[in-house]
Every structure is written in structure tokens, then in C-alpha cells.
Amino acid sequence: MKKYLASTVAASALALMLGLAPACAEDKLDPNAKQGGAITITYKDDVATLDPAIGYDWQNWSMIKSLFDGLMDYEPGTTNLRPELAESYEISPDGTTFTFKLRKGVKFHNGREMTADDVKYSLDRVTNPKTQSPGAGFFASIKGYEDVAGGKAESLAGVTVVDPSTVKIDLSRPDATFLHVMAINFSHVVPKEEVEKYGADFGKHPVGTGAYKLAEWTLGQRLVFERNAAYWHKGLPYLDKITFEIGQEPIVALLRLQKGEVDVPGDGIPPAKFQEVMADPAQKARVVEGGQLQTGYITMNTTMAPFDNVKVRQAVNMAVNKDRIVKIINNRAVPANQPLPPSMPGYDKNFAGYKYDVEKAKALLGEAGHPDGFETQLFVMNTDPNPRIAQAIQQDLAAIGIKASIQSLAQANVIAAGGDKAGAPMIWSGGMAWIADFPDPSNFYGPILGCGGAVQGGWNWAWYCNKDLDAKAANADSIVDPAKADERYKLWGEVYAKVMEDAPWAPVFNEQRFTMRSPRMAGDDKLYVDPVHIPINYDYVYVNDVQ
Amino acid sequence: MIAYLTRRLIQAAFILLGVSIITFALLYLLPADPVRQIAGRSATPQTVESIRQQLGLDQPFIVQYWRYLTNLLSGDLGRSYIQRSEVTELIVSRLPASLILMVGAILCELAIGLSMGLIAAVKRGSATDQTLMVGSFIGVSAPQFVVGLLLLYVFAVQLGWFPIGGYGTWRHAVLPSLTLGILGAGWYSRMMRSSMIDVLRQDYIRTARAKGLARGAILFRHALPNAILPVVAMIGIDIGLFMSGIVVVESVFGWPGIGQLAWQAIQRVDIPIIMGVTLVSACAIVLGNLLADIVAPFIDPRIKLR
């Protein structure tokens, strides 16, 4: 039996096998980091909930990660998996059994030690329909999921507590993304007694094993996180306190940052002030730029004429001037030529894509039987900058004879039109675009390009369904062996290359992230654009003005 | 008086019922599906349906409304779809901030509006009068979002007299109260001016003047109390004005009141919160109007309750 050990030493070996930077949970401490200090982060909107089974917006996502831990996690600032509450794990050769050995001496904020029973309880809870978790579907590959989701069972048959520090999870099919699933917030471990004590209000009284604990939550005003002195990862976190001030307009937050009252404006740099900030060298120096697991794209409904003709879709791909669109949004993005964003494993940086070529696009339209173009509709969400982007697309299409009228609607209406087979011929995805749940190429396929998403109310707005490709994707995801990760990414590369050949989308750009921080905030730049912690990785950043 | 009150309260109950039906129906007709929002994009159709059933959103409109109404009568406004907290708790925790802001705004609008109106009336027809009335016109018509940001920029960022948004001390309350009060001040200065001009034309003022009373004594002891009362009686009606104003002002200043709560809920289509805030605001407006009507005859004997 082949085993993949991932203890602290073996993790480095594993990471080397994957061709990634060495991973090591314990030695990740920054030698320059100082313990102590407090920072202030602002947000416009109220924090929804801190229940890891429920929270699913980019604001509470990172907060939950600091209050709770999962069996797996990522090396800070990267998309490289590493064990977290698990000390090590084994995967059976057929890829359907995952055995996690838990770290010893991990305590919840209430002082009780975390055990394998808590892991099982947390997975049972998140999949139970009564919990109403938006993430329940991620666990569909666990044996017994259907029974729990259907209300026929209270407990997942596939999750077994072997002993207090060992949990075994049986899957109904090999799932290469399962370690990622064990790293997403929905799988984070919660203590049963606290969940039962607070019931539906557990999200207001979160108790986890994370680096911080919730010290105060004044509704609509502030949340205060305090350092968890008993955190299992010795030396972390660096900060003593994080205050989240709620209800601050981004523009006001920026003014306060300039006065030194705020350390990170959580909602980012307001678009109206972006150029001003970037034109000022002193301010620009405090902005960290990084990639985002996001792609903005135009979908073309492949079941509607004339977009049922691949040549028409390819022509649209060549007609759109992506560089100009990137300029419209003040260069806050990079042009895209494929569905995957550049920071996603599996992204093919040698992929040429469709070059901007009006003449060739016109020729393709002619070959498709539309030498004079046609009339169509472009749906777009009605908040800035999306209508402006749609107008640019409209002009580009007009140049090859396609007369697209813009339907600028509220987000919910555009999503509804996209989920209706006869709803929208073209949609600009801005404001609703897919942002990955976890850094794995499969996450950009199933719901938005696979047959499973091409259903009423689904997210596959191109209604693109290629059964061969679905089979290829399933095949790629059955390669569970981490040592064969490159082979798997190559397969995914082929899937996306074929998608681009069929051109159900015209990828336009990948948004960049710009995090602004106060001069006193320190730590590696990549912590400020951490792909899974938005805006920043609270556990690893520190301030340089403590003694 | 008691008969009048009873009648008005019954009317108020019907108004609130009407508001609740209309709001509920409008939100029911929204194309956004709250269940999809709760269930998220990776949910299976099975999960979506199960959540729909648990929330009772698969029931017909009448059943849903009836359940909402019966819960409402027992003080239960439901649970927020997005925040998952009790709506009552969310509103109660934010009500004090909105009340403080309203009191501050009333003080501002009275202080500014009444003094502007008084001066304009006394200096009627002069350049001062015209300048003040142009000022009041600007106050009435300037968008509160712009006024708020302008005040914030000048007094908080440039001069540093007040904190840049937030909540806590009286200094935090000054700029938002002023922003909210400027609109009312515009109205009050106009009302005060005409009311004062009206009073100054009265016979008893002429008599006082003929008796040789000092100008200040006539103005402040005889004219002002009579001119001011009908104006002050309008405060109850202002509550409606405030309810729309706080949505903008609280958002600009990061003031944790129910206006901000409503604005966030509207953006996220969090229907139970929108319902709750609408009902609370409707209550406040109905009560404010009722209060204005009840107070009026005490202040101005020419008005009678019927």
C-alpha cells in the first residue's frame, strides 16, 4: 500500500514532488516579526456571520480562517496545500480513502481539546440541510452524503472516528480536490457543545481553534479579535489585537488611512481615488498588487442562434479589444486569453488564445453566413464600471457588424437571465464573475462550463455542454496521487484548451488586487495579497512599531 | 380627545397594515430568489429545495404573509437571510444611534432654521433676507450625500475639528447631525420667515410698538413666541424626512443606525431586514404625524381636534 505521509518533514518532500516551494508549517515564522501591537481594519458592510458552515462572502471568509482551523490549509501567501489541524494524512491507492492523523494538544477557545469526534461532528453539521450551509455541495463526494443531504440520515456514513486522534473519510469516487475541500472554511472544526449552546446564533459567538478569538462584537460598529495565547502554532499570531470597524465608506476609510487612524481599508481603494493614489509615490509605495482567482468573461449562449455557430463565437473572441477594456478600469486587471486566472495552478502561460484581429473576425463571420453581422443583446450588471465595459464591447462588436443592444440590469436579474436557456444571448460577467472557492483548476469548470451547470438556474450561462470534456474532467479529478499533480494539471490544461477552441466564452481580463496598508504594517508583501485570505492574512502580518 | 385618539390609532393600525402588505408584496415580486442567495452557487437543487421548504418560501403569497403577520404581532420580525441574526435584535441594537442622530438633527435645524428665518423676516426685502433665502433654498435642494462629504472634507479632513466618521462621542455626532439638519433648516427658515412676517403684521405688535416698547422686547417677548410655535409643531412631521435622510447620512458618516442597516440590506436583498426597517420607519412616521396633530391645538388655540 502506497502511502503519502505529510508530516512537517515529509511536507517539504511532497511540495518538491509537486514542484512547489518547500512547505513546512513550523518554520514559517518570520525572523523579523515582532509580537504585539494592534491594527484597525475598516469595512463598509456589517459582518454577516462568523459560522464557518455558513459564512460565504469575501469579508467574513478571512475572519473565519483566523478564528477556526481546518484539517488542511495553505502556506501563507500561496496556493500550496499543507496540513493544518491534521499532522499527517494518508490517501489510499485508489484515491477514495483519506485518513487524517490529528495534531495533539489543539484546544478550542473554550479550553477543551479538539478530537476526531469534533471533525466528524463538523462534517455532519455542514452537510445537514437544517444547517442551511451554502457549502454543503462541496462534500458530495463523501460516502453517505446523499442520505444526509436528503434528510434520511443525521451522520455521514463515510466519516469514521478511528480513535480520538484519527479520522478516516471514505469517498464514493476518487476526488483529487478533496484536500482542498478539507481546507475550505465549510470544513473547519467547531465544538459541538458551543454550537448547541448558541444554536442559530453560533455565528455571533464563534468558538474555534484559530489564532484569534472573538473578544467583542458590537453590532454595526466593531468586532475585536484577540490573540489566542493557547494557539497550537507556537509563535503565532503576531498581533495582539485586530479591530474591525464597520460601516465605513471606502472613501472615508482612505482618508483615515492617510491620517494614520486605519491600517488596512478592507474594501480596498475606492475606484474614484485609484488614479490619485497610484499617481502619488508615497501612497503608491503602500499599495501591494497581486493576482486574484477571478476571470471576467463574455458568455455566448451556445444554444441560441447565431451563437450556436462556433465561428461566430470565435469571431467575437477576436473582435474584443481587451487592452482597451483594461485601460477603462484604470489598469486594475490584466488581459485574459483563457478561463483560468494566472495565479491558478494549471494556467497555461504559453497559451496564445485569440489575438485581437478585426479583419479575421469579419472573415469568420462571413464564413458563418453573417457577412453583414446581426443583431443581438448583451446583458450586463448595472453598477459601475460594468456598463462602461459593456459599451466598449458593444463598439468592438459593431466594428465587425454585430449590433448588440445593452441590457443593463440589477445583478439578480442578470443571474436569472443567464440561468434561463432562452434568457440571454450574451452576458458580460463583471460583478458576478466566478471567483474560485479553492485554488484548483477544477473549480473553474464544473458549475460554469460543465454540463452540470447548464441547467435552469445554473451558472453555465453559455449553456455549453461537451460530454467528452466532462468525461476528461472527471478523469483528471480521479488522479488523486499528489505526485501526479502535474499530469493532472496537464489534463486540465487540455480541457481548457478545448473549451477555448469551442469558444463559449470570450475571456476578457483577470482582475488584480490592490491592498493598501499603513506604513507601520509589516510582513511579506504576499501576505497582503494572499490568494485565500482577502484582504490580508491576519495570522502572519505584524506591525513594526512595537518594542 | 379620547375618541379622537382612538380613531387616529385605529387609522394608524390600518396604515401600518397597508404598508406591510405593500412592502411584502413588492419584495415577494422581486426577481431575486432569496433561497438561491442563501444556498450559494455550489448548492445542489436538493439543498435549494430543502432550504425553501424550511423557510416556508414554497408556500403561496397569502400563507407567507399571514405567517409573517402573526409572527409580527408577537414581536418577531424573523431572521436575516444574510446575517442570520434576529431582525429585532439588529434593529434594537441600532435604534439608539439613529435616535441620537435625530435629536442632534432637530437641534441643528431649529437653531439654524429659526435664527435664519427670524433675521430674514426682520430684514425683509433686504440683501440679507435674499442671501438667507438663497441659502435656505440651497439647503433644501442640496443632495445630502454631497453635503455630508463636503462637511467631512472641510471640517474633519482639512481642519481636523471633528473625527472622520464613526460613532461614540458628541464630536462624532456634530457633522452627521448638521448634514441631516441642513435640509430641515432650509424648510424651517422659510416657515419661520413667513410666520414671523405674519405675526409682525398683527395689531398687538403695532400696539406694542405704539406704546414705545424696545424693538428687542417686541421681537423676542411678543412676536417670537407666537411665531415659533406653529413652526415647532412641525417637528413630528420631520420624522418622515429624517427616515429617508438617515439612509444616506448614516452611510456617509459610518453612523451605526437603522438607516445604514437598511441600505446594506437593500444592497444584499436581505428581505427580512428591509421589511423590519420599513415597518419601524412607518411606525415612527405615523406616530410623528399623530404627535404633531395632538400637540398643535395646545400650541395654537385656533386649531381644534375633530
Q: What is the pLDDT of residues A277-326, one digit of tens each?
A: 999 999 999 999 998 889 999 999 999 989 999 999 999 999 999 999 99
Residue B89 lies in a domain: no
From B22's Cα to the closest Cα of chain A, the distance in A is 21
- Say if CB A97 and CB A243 are below 8 A apart: no
Confidence of residue A507 (pLDDT cuts 50, 70, 90): very high
Q: How far is CA B142 from CA B114, B179, B241, in A?
A: 19, 10, 14
How many Cα atoms occupy the beta-carbon half-sphere of B117 within 13 Å? 29
Q: Is A496 on the interface with B (CB under 8 A)?
A: no
Closest chain B residue by Cα to residue A257: B164
| Nearest by CB: B41 against A45, A261, A447 | A447
Q: Which residues of A touch B156 (CB under 8 A)?
A: 255
Q: Which residues of B touch A246 (CB under 8 A)?
A: 254, 256
The verdict on B99 and B241 lying in the same domain is yes
- Between A459 and A432, the more confident residue is A459
CA distance B250 to B257: 7
Each residue's pLDDT tens digit, B86-116:
999 999 999 999 999 999 998 998 899 989 9
Q: Residue B33: its pLDDT value, please?
A: 75
Quote the cell numbers at residue B146.
Answer: 454631497
Q: Is A384 on the interface with B (CB under 8 A)?
A: no
Q: Which residues of A touch B93 (CB under 8 A)?
A: 218-220
pLDDT average, residue stretch A323-351: 92
| Nearest by CB: A129 against B47, B152, B156 | B47
The verdict on B48 and B124 lying in the same domain is no
Are B45 and A457 an interchain contact pair (Cβ–Cβ within 8 Å)? yes
Q: Which residues of B touch A410 (CB under 8 A)?
A: 31-32
Of the listed ranges A66-70, A393-397, A508-512, B156-160, the one predicted with least confidence: B156-160
- Say if CB A337 and CB A324 are below 8 A apart: no
CA distance A423 to A457: 11
Our count of domains for chain B comes to 2
Q: Residue A22: its pLDDT value, please?
A: 35
CA distance A326 to B234: 53
Residue B164 lies in a domain: yes
- Look at residues B48, B76, B104 and tell me which one is the last residue of a structural domain: B76
- Calculate the average pLDDT of chain B: 86
Closest chain B residue by Cα to residue A217: B93
Residue B264 lies in a domain: yes
Closest chain B residue by Cα to residue A147: B46
Q: Residue A113: its pLDDT value, please?
A: 97
Residue B305 lies in a domain: no
pLDDT average, residue stretch A172-199: 95
The verdict on B136 and B245 lying in the same domain is yes
| Nearest by CB: A220 against B38, B253, B256 | B256
- Look at residues B76, B109, B128 and tell me which one is the last residue of a structural domain: B76
pLDDT average, residue stretch A192-218: 95
The verdict on B147 and B54 lying in the same domain is no
Are B30 and A140 an interchain contact pair (Cβ–Cβ within 8 Å)? no
Buried b (16+ CB within 10 A) or exposed e, B159-183: eeebbbbbbeeeebbbbbbbbbbbb
pLDDT average, residue stretch A89-104: 94
Are A249 and B42 an interchain contact pair (Cβ–Cβ within 8 Å)? no
CA distance B35 to B31: 12
Tell whether omega for the bond before A385 is within 30 degrees of 0, i.e. cis: yes
Are B33 and A49 an interchain contact pair (Cβ–Cβ within 8 Å)? no
Quote the cell numbers at residue B217.
Answer: 422686547
Closest chain A residue by Cα to residue B257: A220
Confidence of residue A216 (pLDDT cuts 50, 70, 90): very high
| DSSP structural state of residue A481 | -
Residue B88 lies in a domain: no
Quote the cell numbers at residue B140.
Answer: 433644501
| Nearest by CB: A252 against B90, B254, B257 | B254
Are B250 and A247 an interchain contact pair (Cβ–Cβ within 8 Å)? yes
From A46's Cα to the closest Cα of chain B, the distance in A is 8
| Nearest by CB: B152 against A252, A455, A459 | A252
- Say if CB B238 and CB B184 are below 8 A apart: yes
- Residue A86 forms beta bridges with which residues? A102
CA distance A521 to B298: 62
Q: Which residues of A touch B41 (CB under 8 A)?
A: 134, 447, 459
The verdict on B199 and B132 lying in the same domain is yes
| Nearest by CB: A256 against B54, B164, B256 | B164
Residue B5 lies in a domain: no
Quote the cell numbers at residue A190.
Answer: 467547531
Are B54 and A132 an interchain contact pair (Cβ–Cβ within 8 Å)? yes
From B131's Cα to the closest Cα of chain A, the distance in A is 32
CATH number of the domain residue B198 falls in: 1.10.3720.10
Question: Residue A343: which residues within 8 A CB-CB, separation 6 or more?
Answer: A79, A290, A291, A292, A293, A439, A531
Percent of the residues in chain A that have a pLDDT greater than 70, as a whole number: 95
Each residue's pLDDT tens digit, B62-95:
999 999 999 988 888 888 888 888 999 999 999 9
The verdict on B68 and B118 lying in the same domain is no
Q: Which residues of A touch B79 (CB under 8 A)?
A: 200
Q: Residue A391: its pLDDT value, please?
A: 96
Are A136 and B43 an interchain contact pair (Cβ–Cβ within 8 Å)? yes
Q: Residue A8: its pLDDT value, please?
A: 36
Q: Residue A1: its pLDDT value, please?
A: 35
Q: Residue A26: its pLDDT value, please?
A: 47
From B273's Cα to the closest Cα of chain A, the distance in A is 13
CA distance B50 to B117: 61
Residue B90 lies in a domain: no
Residue B108 lies in a domain: yes
Q: Which residues of A touch B84 (CB under 8 A)?
A: 48-49, 51, 54, 200, 203
Closest chain B residue by Cα to residue A219: B93
Percent of the residues in chain A that have a pLDDT greater than 90, as a whole number: 72
The verdict on B204 and B123 lying in the same domain is yes
| Nearest by CB: A220 against B31, B39, B94 | B94
pLDDT (tens, 9 = 90+) of chain B, 306 residues, equals 788 889 988 998 999 999 999 999 988 887 667 787 777 777 777 778 888 888 888 888 899 999 999 998 888 888 888 888 899 999 999 999 999 999 999 899 889 998 999 899 888 889 999 999 998 898 888 888 888 888 988 998 888 898 887 788 888 889 999 999 988 888 889 888 988 888 888 888 888 888 888 888 888 888 887 888 777 777 777 887 788 888 889 888 888 899 989 988 887 788 899 999 999 989 888 888 888 888 777 777 777 766
Are A130 and B54 an interchain contact pair (Cβ–Cβ within 8 Å)? yes
Q: Residue B291: its pLDDT value, please?
A: 82
**N- to C-terminal Cα distance for chain B?**
8
Which structural domain range is residue B145 located in? 95-299
The verdict on B65 and B150 lying in the same domain is no
Are A56 and B45 an interchain contact pair (Cβ–Cβ within 8 Å)? no
Q: What angle do CA A306, A473, A310 make, to 5 degrees?
A: 15
The verdict on B179 and B35 lying in the same domain is no
Q: Residue A191: its pLDDT value, please?
A: 97
Q: Is the pLDDT of residue A339 over 50?
A: yes
Each residue's pLDDT tens digit, A18-30:
333 333 444 468 8
Q: Which residues of B touch A134 (CB under 8 A)?
A: 38-43
- Look at residues B30, B48, B76 and tell me which one is the last residue of a structural domain: B76
From A245's Cα to the closest Cα of chain B, the distance in A is 9
The verdict on B125 and B69 lying in the same domain is no
pLDDT average, residue stretch A235-250: 92
From B233's Cα to the closest Cα of chain A, the distance in A is 33
Fill in the amino acid letter for B215. R
Are B42 and A252 an interchain contact pair (Cβ–Cβ within 8 Å)? no
Q: Which residues of A touch B257 (CB under 8 A)?
A: 220
Which H or E element spans position A93? none
The verdict on B196 and B64 lying in the same domain is no
Q: Residue A28: its pLDDT value, please?
A: 66
Confidence of residue A542 (pLDDT cuts 50, 70, 90): very high
Q: How many CB pairs under 8 A join A and B?
A: 126
CA distance A323 to A331: 9
Q: Which residues of B touch A59 (CB under 8 A)?
A: none
From A227's Cα to the closest Cα of chain B, the distance in A is 25
The verdict on B58 and B193 lying in the same domain is no
